[in-house]
Chain A
Amino acid sequence: MSTNLELPMFTNNSEAELGGRWGMVIDKDLCTGCQACVAACSMENNVPFVGEEDAGYGRSMQWIRIERLWEGLDGDYREVKMTDYQPLMCQQCHNAPCEPVCPVYASVHSMSEDLNLQVYNRCVGTRYCANNCPYQARVFNWRDYADYRETNTADNDPRWSVFQNQLNPDVTVRRRGVMEKCTFCIQRIHQAENQAKAEGREVRDGEFTTACAQACPANAIVFGRIDDPESMVSLAAETSRGSRLHEELRTMPRVTYLAGGA
């Protein structure tokens, strides 16, 4: 008779976990770079504006940025091509490089959603996570941007308080010295899950979506359960055009990009 002396291993590498839960597909062929997702995200997630100077110095707080590069810059202007617009948000890696480097567990992995969480209250602002993110998807509160008085001169104008009315009560307002990033609209995920639980069912595909996917006029962003092979997002990911960013790093991102062109 043998005894199994192996201790139970708590990893995030079981078959089911590697598959992921929530995921996104972004069709670069459809993205027109219109920035509707960026605006929608900012409105949903209380992302503040930072003003001209800081924005131009790489300090804008938007959780999504739409990247584009050029091809053929050295040739004739007729041959210049813009690469497809690439909306870039947190890729919600399964093996996230941002997580192990945080000394205070502010950047942690959620087992239940398989997402990277940023716990604002724990963050002490070492900014190691942002350094280690291969996608540069994290943004830092360099100043008290959420307090609009800080970014502008009209200090004692009581009318400033009106801006606070648009803040989403489901999302924490971040103060200076704290790292933040895209959360896959986790407040919406939780709301849908709670609703489904109360009704004794699973969350239906397409029942809710993230603010960016909801706004996207071209339907370039699809969000949903990637562990469900029948979901829209799984079907969309299963084309020959799909790839993930910097797959060579084995971060296992949960965002699939569909390449443009024929």
Chain B
Amino acid sequence: MSQQFSRRDFLKLAGLGAATTAVLTGCGPSSRYVKREPYQQMPEYNAIGQSTYYATTCRECAAGCGLILRTFQGRALKVEGNANHPLNLGKTCARGQATLQGLYNPDRVTDPVKRASRGSDSTQPMDWDTAVQTVADALTNYKPNEIAFLMGTAPDHLFDLVTDLANAAGMNAPIRFGALSMFEARATLSKAAESLFGQAGMPSFDLGGADVVVSFGANFLETWLSPVSYTREYARMRRGNPKQRGYFIQFESRMSQTASKADEWIPLRPGTEGLVALALGRLVAEAKGGSLPRAFSGVDPAEVAAAADVSLETLEHVAHMIVSAHTPIAVPGGSALGQSNGQTVAEAVLALNALVENVGKSGGVFLSPLSPNQDAYHQPASAKEMQDFVNQMASGKFKVLFIHGVNPVFELPKSIDFKGALSGVEQVISFATFPDETALEADYVFPDHQGLESWGYQRVVTGTSQQVISGAQPVVTPYFNTRATADVLIAAAQLAGGKFAATLPFKDEVEFLNSKVSALMGEADGSFTAPDPVTFMAYFQQYGGWWNKSDVRVSAGNSNPLNRNIAGIEADFVGSGEYFFLPFVSPSLAETGANKPTLQELPDPTTTVMWNTWIEMNPETAKELGIENDDVVKVVSDTGEVEASVYLYPAIRPDVIAMPFGQGHTAYGQFAAGRGVNPSDLLGAHFNEAGDLAFAGTKVTIQKTGKKRQLSRKEGLIGVYEFRPE
């Protein structure tokens, strides 16, 4: 460099540098609106003693409840529900309340890092410029079809951004996944709706308007689809009509939290839910008179009762309840769908609804409406699709994998070896906020903001009959050196140039959001109107989202869904064990709660166990095996084994062993790591007809270990079980 370096050149270069820096660093949302003000004119959010409230969206699950955050001098203090939000009407669940402990979690990934080697704890901090460059290089150095995106079920704006990017650049469409979607069997529900009503979509169940609810394993009071709205609807069913209290019957082999609220809990043999639904259909149809619909003709209630280990009188009694009800409804879900015949179960139960003619009516079943900015229902990947994805990874089809908002190494069954398949991918870039198991296997972690520091929106898929796009905005400035993944991708796309830059011609995430949200301006019947996009966006943030004012109930198209055969078969079980294995999602932890100490310390509603994994076993079974409370036993399936303490649970079939999902992390911070076991280690790659995981289709054996480890219980064993007063 012998050339003279002129002053003009210097200024040019300096200007260019400044511009780059501005692009790279200056587009963080917090720094966008910085303004100098005299000390006396404090902005309201900084005034001493004044709380400021911001509307945003909960990211603890994909439901998309609206939140109002109380902040005080720049700190977020308390989560409250957004009373105007149609989904949750001001209510929250426990996990939503604890989202602050995600924000203020001591174990967050604080800086972008490069990992020394996959699986190793040792990392090298990077600066964001290099990080963005790394992403840009990944986009440009590989062919578009060698790049894959794996995303969580929230947030939707990032999914839309990546979809746009993938579509434009010819990359693989992003895949979404989450443990909750795996246990909810969303694909099964939507395929059953399609096959019965000829129209795909998420069925929504209007419990609030029903007077008799017959649920087949649906854990709608726990984590299923949209627990806050279903709990509210449950309350409406019970006490909404002052003259008549709704009646609730649950068929489930274990008394779940939902079943514990049922008037009648009817334990049936796992795998016979579909048969029972068909038998009920036949009994109801016979009681109603007229010709027997084809769907129910092939089933014999007496045989079904024997197969399901339920008395025929019970079935007749339930059928009588349904017949004499005004607006009965049947709900399929939970473990009933996680069987090898899950789709059949869903179809049989939906057929029962069709039989009582509640489809599309108040108190009945309808299909959730699509959001206005959505062309088709993008459901999360089923476990089968995930297996295909993993196989492609292992075969080396993908050279670069971007992962955001999902932790498949932990969540997917061990038999679908996500971690092993990562070795087929050259470069793994994670955008994890927390150091979870998947981030531990990534080459780079470029941490995203926590949900409360983020912009975005979430489409409400189910739980309300309105179309809702729930808006998110940062309620505090980012606490650590993290950066919004959307910003990183936009900046990287700019750096990468070409199609990438053309697809995302935005300065930052907020501009991208503006472009998406302002498209709603033209929609009729919106919850608010505004003269210009800026005001519209401001309202969007202020109200916590956009929704239409009136109900949009999509009823099914097929006029005669009952005129078809539904195969009345029992489910298959894999494994040679003698006990049915029933994993269920921990109601207090769900998929992301394990790193939040307050959630860890929340007692499980039914067992009151805190901080660890337990194995539910009927006391009779335990007596036969010589097992006592707190004995550590080994549960062995064909694909794995886990050890945990036994909880003698009185309300479970003696041939069923149940375990909560949510613990068993090997990473994910100090509150989660090394605590409990993961029941998905026991599950095989065993799917139902719709490709969802047949998580309840495993049989296991129980082995004593001779060890004892006391479970942490909120209840006192003495008063509840051992020395109870009459």
Contacts and interface: CB of A to CB of B under 8 A. Distances in A.
A133 interface: no
B601 A55 contact: yes
Contacts of A42: 97, 598
Nearest to A42: B598
Given A33-B605, A80-B650, A52 B620 contact: no
Given A29-B238, A52-B712, A219-B235, A82 B260 contact: yes
B652 A218 contact: no
A66 B605 contact: yes
A117 interface: no
B75 interface: yes
Contacts of A55: 601, 610-611, 712, 714
B97 A32 contact: no
Interface stretch (B98-106, B119-127, B352-360): B98-106
A167 to B, nearest CB: 8
B610 A32 contact: no
B231 A32 contact: yes
Given A33-B606, A35-B603, A219-B235, A166 B106 contact: no
Contacts of A49: 597-598, 600-601
B435 to A, nearest CB: 12
Interface stretch (A97-105, A176-184, A209-217): A209-217
B235 A218 contact: yes
A40 interface: yes
A65 B714 contact: yes
A60 interface: yes
A135 interface: no
Contact of A34 (B106, B227, B670): B227
Interface in B249-275: 255, 257-258, 260-261, 263, 265-267
Interface string B80-116: 1100000010111111111011011111001000000
Interface string B389-413: 0000000000000000000000000
B392 to A, nearest CB: 38
B239 A27 contact: yes
Interface residues of B, number: 82
Contacts of B715: 67-68
Contact of B238 (A30, A33, A39, A44): A30
Contact of A216 (B76, B79, B91): B91
Nearest to B83: A214
B602 interface: yes
A52 B588 contact: no
Contacts of B713: 56
B257 A33 contact: yes
A77 B653 contact: yes
Contact of B106 (A157, A218, A261): A157
B611 A34 contact: no
A162 interface: yes
B257 A34 contact: yes
A196 interface: no
A38 interface: yes
Interface string A22-36: 000001011011111
Nearest to B720: A69
Interface string B54-93: 0000000000000000001001111111000000101111
Contacts of A56: 610-611, 710-713
A165 B90 CA distance: 24
B499 interface: no
A53 interface: yes
Contacts of A157: 106
A30 B266 CA distance: 20
B234 interface: yes
Given A38-B94, A166-B75, A214-B80, A159 B106 contact: yes
A85 B245 contact: no
A172 interface: no
Contact of B232 (A35, A211, A219): A219
A33 B231 CA distance: 11
B221 interface: yes
Interface in B620-677: 620, 650-654, 670, 675
B612 interface: yes
Contacts of B602: 35, 38-39
A153 B494 CA distance: 45
B231 A52 contact: no
B97 A52 contact: no
Contact of B104 (A34, A78, A165, A261): A165
Nearest to A38: B602
A152 B597 CA distance: 11
A220 interface: yes
A214 B245 CA distance: 24
Contact of B81 (A77, A162, A214): A214
A82 B651 contact: yes
Contacts of A261: 263
Given A35-B603, A215-B97, A30 B239 contact: yes
Contacts of A50: 601
Interface string A92-126: 00000000000000000000000000000000000
B575 interface: no
Given A157-B106, A163-B106, A217-B92, A35 B610 contact: no
B574 interface: no
B620 A77 contact: yes
Contact of B97 (A40, A68, A165): A40
A25 to B, nearest CB: 12
B504 interface: no
Contacts of A154: 106, 670
Interface string B698-726: 00000000000011111110011100100
B651 A77 contact: yes
B142 interface: no
B724 A32 contact: no
A32 B605 contact: yes
Contact of B77 (A30, A34, A53, A166): A166
B377 interface: no
B270 to A, nearest CB: 15
B221 A166 contact: no
B616 to A, nearest CB: 12
A162 B100 CA distance: 11
A162 B105 contact: yes
A168 interface: yes
A161 B653 CA distance: 47
A188 B285 CA distance: 55
A218 to B, nearest CB: 4
A135 B82 CA distance: 33
Interface in B572-615: 587-588, 597-603, 605-606, 608, 610-612
A73 B675 CA distance: 31
16 contacts: A30-B234, A32-B258, A34-B605, A35-B588, A35-B602, A36-B93, A40-B92, A43-B78, A49-B598, A52-B675, A55-B712, A67-B715, A166-B76, A167-B77, A217-B232, A217-B235
Interface of A: 27, 29-30, 32-36, 38-40, 42-44, 49-53, 55-56, 58, 60, 62, 65-70, 73, 77-78, 80-82, 85, 152, 154, 157, 159-160, 162-163, 165-169, 211, 214-220, 261-262
8 A-B pairs closest in CB distance: A56-B712, A33-B605, A52-B611, A39-B94, A39-B97, A217-B231, A218-B235, A159-B106
Given A39-B98, A217-B231, 9 more contacts: A34-B605, A40-B92, A42-B97, A50-B601, A56-B711, A60-B610, A66-B605, A69-B724, A82-B606
